[in-house]
Amino acid sequence: MTDNIFNQRVDYTKNDYLDENKLPSDPFELFRGWYEFALKNVEKDPNAMILSTVNNNQPRARVVLLKKLDERGFTYFTNYNSSKSQETNKNENASITFYWRDLERQIRIEGKVEKISDQESDEYFMSRPVGSRIGAWASPQSKEIKSRKEIEQAVEQIKKKFQNKEVTRPKNWGGLRLVPKYFEFWQGASSRLHDRIIFELIEEEWIKKRLAP
């Protein structure tokens, strides 16, 4: 098995080299361009991103879905009592990473996490399928449960609670937004000479730089 890992190599040849002088000065503009391309060319979940937080001194990561992007940042939704939410309550610093294997591209974004408004959370929640809304009520996310049956019973209880009623958003569920201060756009290139272009927010201005592979 170790030998197989040693010999697993891919040469990245799908893209032309990135010329930082020809890229937008606004990282949001560049992100949107890459994301629009991913929407058309990634078969499943182009909005999947790895959210990394810190629990005391222990980094933690998991995959979540990007659900909103605007000039303020990148929004995802969760139970506010979940581990990911509690961790950013204590330490607002976090990062998200998009990796599109088939495109040979990755974007890493660092920033601070903030809670979005109740109105925004309500709007998104009511756009979800009813089953997903019921699941948000039934699941004590990140808490230990005895078995799958416990969740299934909770779902049935919530269905009875909202029978013939609209399933509205629980107060402990909603959106969190990562407000970026750093972007790194990575694009694979042959012989491991990958392109890495970063944008750092310094005194309200985005500064663009190139990093060595």
Q: Is residue 180 part of a domain?
A: yes
Q: Is residue 122 part of a domain?
A: yes
Q: Is residue 141 part of a domain?
A: no
pLDDT score recorded for residue 147 = 96
Q: Is residue 80 part of a domain?
A: yes
| pTM, 2 dp | 0.93
pLDDT score recorded for residue 144 = 92
Catalytic residue among 32, 62, 101, 192: 192
How many structural domains are present in the chain?
A: 1
* 211 alpha carbon, distance to own chain's centre: 23
Q: Is residue 50 part of a domain?
A: yes
pLDDT score recorded for residue 10 = 87
Q: Is residue 151 part of a domain?
A: no
Q: Is residue 43 part of a domain?
A: yes
pLDDT score recorded for residue 8 = 86
Instruction: Residue 77: give the domain boundaries.
Output: 8-126+172-211
CATH label of the domain that carries residue 46: 2.30.110.10
Q: Is residue 25 part of a domain?
A: yes
* 169 carries an active-site annotation: no
Question: Could you give the CA distance from residue 66 to residue 123 in angstroms, rounded to a whole number?
Answer: 15
Residues of the chain with confidence (pLDDT) below 70: 1-3
pLDDT score recorded for residue 29 = 98
